[in-house]
Structure 1
Amino acid sequence: MSQSPLFQLLLDDLVYEILTWVPVKSLIRFRCVSKSWYSTITSHKFIKTHLDRAKSSSNNNNDYLLYKSQRMSSSPNELCTIVHNSDRTLSEISSFQIPDYFVYIVGFCNGMFLSADDDYDDYDHGHAVYLWNPSIRKYKKLPPSHFIHPFGHSDYCFTFGLAYHYQNNDYKILKLIYEYSPGEKVPPAEAEVYTLSTDSWRRFVISVVSSSGSRPLGSVDYLNESHLLFFNGALHSIACSEDYKFILSFDANDERFREILLPQNYLDGVSLLFEALAVFKGSLTLFVFGEALADKSNLCHLWVMKEYGVVESWTKKTIQRKEAAEFFDCIVDGTVKGECYTFWPFWKLSFDPESLNKEIFRIPNAGCIINATNFVESLVLLDGINISQE
């Protein structure tokens, strides 16, 4: 007996609904079931729906660490991904042979990592930049920038950030280039934006809107060396304009640069070693590492912005800490925990700033850990052009 068109439509809708909840690894296999399933799973609409379901799932409590392998059998540019499971065990899920040895993970969003090498290429007018989704084992090398920076090769710095443009279901990469010469007059920082849907770069003029909206702050001289933080639809970095320090935000939707005020007098009594932005339990957070001027003890201040963009909502928590070689990210699942991952000379450490609990990771053959994030598996890049397989 043949099925009615209405029944078939309902059946197709039911299958579609079920598939949106299926894990990525299974969906990759299910593409072989039929042409219609392949078309569905690789469609732009399905990839977005599946991502939205994955982000809303309460099971997304795993943290991911990326590190360079020191296995004898591996090449020096093997990048490995391990998951720090909710039961505190570790599992390797992917390894990626990156074409460039001096690679940095400079951004993460919706299951994708953004990486850039540290070697300026005269032919490509810049750095080799990649988008990588370890869940589907695919990556994309971005087209070369057509922007030649006037500073020369020895006196400039660059920073990247990866953002999700929710309104257009698209991804953007912001590249900021600046000269860092303390005590000297420097040219204004400059910017480029890459859009995934058009696979192209655009030049941008940095003109910062003040937090009061009454006047533009103008140009930016230099920025914090860490990568740009994506939060609340915008990319963030600590920036300076002449002698004025503030948080620079770039809205992925309207593509405007804005000012967010830092906590007032947040460096009083502190000899600063370094500072970094992170998302801690759903709020923009400033980590300040330094030495107390009063007794020379090491400390860490956590400044949490309870209400985004409101300077009066900054609240401080002080943590005494041991000397750490490198702080590189904050892990958040939104409501339950927020852990800092710190690289010490001989081990890797997870630290909870609220409970003060510590956990040492023993990762076989691990070189330097270069990124940590609360990860959500996605199908992003499955439907893209010029995509390569690991």
Structure 2
Amino acid sequence: MSQPTKKLILSTECVPDDIVFDILTRLPVKSLIRFRCVSKSLNSTITSRIFITTHFKLNEAKSLSNKDSHNDYLLYTSKSEYFSFNEEELVAFVCNRDRILTEISRFKTPFCFLDGYFVNCFCNGIFCLSRYDDDTIICWNPSIRKFKMLAPALLTEFFSWVTLGLAYNSQNNDFKILRLMCSQKSDEEPDGPDRPAEAEVYTLSTDSWRKVVISVDSSEPNIGYVYHTSPFIFFNGALHCIASTNNGRFILSFEVNDERFHKIMLPQDSLGGYQGCLAVFKGLLAFIVLSRDIDPICDIWVMKEYGLVESWTRKSVPIDWIHFFLGVTDNGELLFGNDTELNLIDPEKNLNQNIRVSKRYIRWVGYASNFMESLVLLDGGKCIV
């Protein structure tokens, strides 16, 4: 902390409160955490709900307006070489425009990773952790080393698949989690139809769940299955995932502000691939499809006009044999992975570059184009020690 800054903060009685508030909202998270120790009044200001919200909105606006800002990240949680789970970390790399990865930070993971939790989804720097064997969910903000155990979910009946989506609610300056559940077939009717999926929504500010009705088509209102292998994409104020009914696959969207579901049809020629995932490609909703051909092909289907099925367009890119798709960088490069390495592919120039990140001790790997630091959970989360 520099001496001039310290004098300003310690002499707040000479500066109007609104000016101090405005100055503080423009400071980085690390500085704000340190300034909490200066005085009780500063601590009270920084931990208040209105300050946390104002600081978040300014950071979000800055991130969206600055095209040269580094908010394009490769993330993974690592284990030590000797499998000491106490040393697990979240590692963040910047995907630079020169196609070189630069490590910028390491965050100690919550102790709950010891109990089998994994990263399920994330949005704007907030991570959602869950387990395979129960309904417990945790929100985690690594930038301030805080996490929060969420209230118990309402739908606790055994389901074959549970899919979570985390989104920022701009209307109420809040975070929401959509929880979709697809039931197994009953023992009495193992060959019978799938039970319809059910849904509930969690609101961070109230720490509570509410059941919501999935209804997208009056002729076929029930969603039978949600593809957990294609995680939610938060785009255009809505969460998007791949779902299906008896009539086939489609995109199920959930508008976060008004909590309404919608159905967006996939391009008909896209349904033959062995893996399909949603992504955001150069600011547009996209469906990435990997083929089973002898010479593997990646089809990039882009929706030129959001919601208009006729606007789907395709670009095919040859690829090496890969196992999973991770995401699309802000530059439109595709990030893939296999058992030993990560690959960055430029579909415009047909360039394929290996990324030297050892996967031997990686528990989870993901990609984020909206990773940002914030004070979310500062007023109610538990500290990681």
Same fold (TM over 0.5): yes
After superposition, give the CA deviation of every residue in 1:191-246 in whole Å (9 maximum; x if it has no partner): 111111111112222111x4xxxx46401000112322111111111111113321
Answer with 31-40 or 74-83: which moved more: 74-83
Matched to 1:329, the amino acid is: G
Answer with 373-382 or 81-90: which moved more: 81-90
Q: CA deviation at 1:183?
A: 7.4
Residues 77 and 88 of structure 1, relative CA distance in 2, 3 Å threshold: closer
SS in 1 for 2:321: coil
Distance in structure 2 (CA, Å) of the matches to 1:207 and 1:321: 38
1:360 and 2:354 are equivalent in the alignment: yes
**What does 1:108-119 correspond to in 2, within 5 Å?**
108-119=122-133
**What does 1:91-170 correspond to in 2, within 5 Å?**
91-100=104-113, 101-120=115-134, 127-149=135-157, 152=158, 156-170=160-174
Residues 380 and 366 of structure 1, relative CA distance in 2, 3 Å threshold: same
Match of 2:46 among 41, 45, 52: 41
Residues 358 and 378 of structure 1, relative CA distance in 2, 3 Å threshold: farther
Match of 1:227 among 222, 231, 237: 231
Q: CA deviation at 1:314?
A: 1.6
User: 1:79–1:98: 8 Å Cα contact kept in structure 2?
Assistant: no
SS in 2 for 1:324: coil
Aligned to 1:380: 376
SS in 2 for 1:218: coil
User: 1:194–1:201: 8 Å Cα contact kept in structure 2?
Assistant: yes
Aligned to 2:340: 346
Aligned to 1:289: 290
Matched to 2:368, the amino acid is: T
Q: CA deviation at 1:297?
A: 2.0
Answer with 350-359 or 315-324: which moved more: 350-359
Aligned to 2:315: 317
1:75 and 2:69 are equivalent in the alignment: no
After superposition, give the CA deviation of every residue in 1:260-306 in whole Å (9 maximum; x if it has no partner): 12123334xxx4111000112211111011134xxx32101111112
Matched to 2:128, the amino acid is: L
Answer with 157-166 or 66-75: which moved more: 66-75
Residues 369 and 107 of structure 1, relative CA distance in 2, 3 Å threshold: closer
Matched to 1:104, the amino acid is: F
Matched to 1:383, the amino acid is: D
After superposition, give the CA deviation of every residue in 1:36-81 in whole Å (9 maximum; x if it has no partner): 3222222222222222222233224441412232332631783422
Match of 2:247 among 243, 248, 252: 243
Distance in structure 2 (CA, Å) of the matches to 1:62 and 1:160: 22
SS in 1 for 2:333: strand
Matched to 2:50, the amino acid is: K
Answer with 10-19 or 316-325: which moved more: 10-19
After superposition, give the CA deviation of every residue in 1:86-144 in whole Å (9 maximum; x if it has no partner): 36322342121442454332221121011211113xxxxxx221111111111111122
User: 2:285–2:306: 8 Å Cα contact kept in structure 1?
Assistant: yes
1:304 and 2:302 are equivalent in the alignment: yes
Aligned to 1:124: none
Matched to 1:84, the amino acid is: V
Aligned to 2:6: none
Aligned to 1:88: 101
Matched to 1:36, the amino acid is: S
User: 2:141–2:376: 8 Å Cα contact kept in structure 1?
Assistant: yes
Aligned to 1:54: 59
Gaps of 5+ in 1: 1-6, 121-126
Matched to 2:183, the amino acid is: E
Aligned to 1:277: 278
Tell me which protein shows more helix as a share of its residues: 2
User: 1:107–1:229: 8 Å Cα contact kept in structure 2?
Assistant: no
Aligned to 1:189: 197
Residues 76 and 55 of structure 1, relative CA distance in 2, 3 Å threshold: same
Q: How many correspondences in the alignment?
A: 358
Matched to 1:239, the amino acid is: A
SS in 1 for 2:21: helix
User: 1:206–1:220: 8 Å Cα contact kept in structure 2?
Assistant: yes
Aligned to 2:4: none
Aligned to 2:3: none
After superposition, give the CA deviation of every residue in 1:6-40 in whole Å (9 maximum; x if it has no partner): x9797433333332221111111111222232222
Residues 352 and 53 of structure 1, relative CA distance in 2, 3 Å threshold: farther
**What does 1:201-212 correspond to in 2, within 5 Å?**
201-208=209-216, 210=217
User: 1:84–1:90: 8 Å Cα contact kept in structure 2?
Assistant: yes
Residues 178 and 16 of structure 1, relative CA distance in 2, 3 Å threshold: same
Match of 2:384 among 367, 381, 389: 389
Distance in structure 2 (CA, Å) of the matches to 1:342 and 1:237: 19
Aligned to 2:365: 370
Tell me which protein shows more strand as a share of its residues: 1
Gaps of 5+ in 2: 1-11
Q: CA deviation at 1:179?
A: 3.3
